[in-house]
């Protein structure tokens, strides 16, 4: 295992993700989208949302999407386009590999502020780690879904999938 890999603790990868994750070397290069869509449903806006043509669905619309991690730039444009809120973008800081980021879709009206300290939650809604809001994107392109990027310890980039504001009960 390389030194870089040692710096990125993957002890928190859920088992169901292990087959779809990009190689660790790829994650360390630049942010990358992770598509957590495992149900074969008639849906494909993710495919059209990607300017790099990195997302594809083989053999009919009912198949689950695939992503070409080499083509993905981590731009986050696909994140708000998924009606299932199943697309996330994860990244690791090149200068300090203990620092990571997770970009998530957010459909609530109470948008957090950049720099706000929040609590990163896992897929079950349980608190995992403190996090800081790094970026908030709301635009015509994102419709009613905002795109929020959190800064957090890199060991949690595959675990945190939502957040709780400190002010919320
Ligand atoms: S993050 Fe950007 S480049 Fe990557 S799959 Fe999504 S839209 Fe395509
Ligand atoms: S848009 Fe979302 S739910 Fe629909 S196929 Fe793509 S990833 Fe799955």
pLDDT in tens, 101-143: 999 999 998 899 999 999 999 999 999 999 999 999 998 777 7
Closest approach atom of ligand 2 to CA 81: 1
Q: Is it the case that residue 3 has pLDDT exceeding 50?
A: no
Of 82, 88, 161, the one to substitute when testing ligand 2's pocket (max ligand atoms within 8 A of C-beta) is 82
Mutate which of 33, 35, 48, 76 for ligand 2? The one with the most ligand atoms within 8 Å of its CB, which is 35
Residue 12 has a pLDDT of 67
> What's the whole-model pTM score?
0.91
C-beta pairs of 89-92 under 8 Å, 24+ apart in sequence:
89/31, 89/32, 89/33, 89/34, 89/149, 90/27, 90/31, 90/32, 90/34, 90/157, 90/158, 91/27, 91/30, 91/31, 91/32, 91/157, 92/8, 92/27, 92/28, 92/154, 92/157
- In this prediction, residue 68 has a pLDDT band, given cuts at 50, 70 and 90, of very high
pLDDT tens figures, 74-98: 999 999 999 999 999 999 999 999 9
User: Is 73 close to ligand 1, i.e. is its CB under 6 Å away?
Assistant: yes
Q: How many domains does the chain have?
A: 1
Distance 36 CA to ligand 1 centre (A): 14
Question: What is the mean pLDDT of the segment spanning 151-160?
Answer: 96
Q: What is the pLDDT of residue 140?
A: 76
Q: Which domain holds residue 137?
A: 3-165
């Amino acid at each position: 295992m390389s030194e870089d890999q040692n710096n990125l603790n993957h002890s928190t990868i859920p088992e169901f993700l292990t087959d779809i994750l990009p190689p660790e070397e790829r994650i360390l290069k630049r942010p990358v989208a992770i598509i957590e869509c495992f149900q074969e449903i008639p849906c494909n806006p993710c495919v059209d949302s990607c300017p790099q043509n990195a997302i594809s669905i083989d053999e009919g619309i009912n198949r689950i999407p695939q992503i070409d991690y080499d083509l993905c730039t981590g731009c986050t444009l696909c994140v708000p386009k998924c009606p299932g809120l199943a697309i996330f973008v994860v990244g690791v800081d090149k200068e300090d590999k203990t620092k990571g980021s997770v970009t998530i879709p957010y459909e609530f009206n109470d948008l957090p502020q950049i720099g706000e300290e929040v609590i990163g939650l896992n897929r079950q809604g349980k608190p995992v780690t403190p996090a800081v809001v790094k970026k908030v994107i709301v635009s015509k392109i994102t419709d009613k879904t905002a795109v929020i990027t959190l800064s957090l310890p890199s060991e949690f980039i595959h675990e945190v999938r939502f957040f709780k504001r400190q002010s919320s009960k």
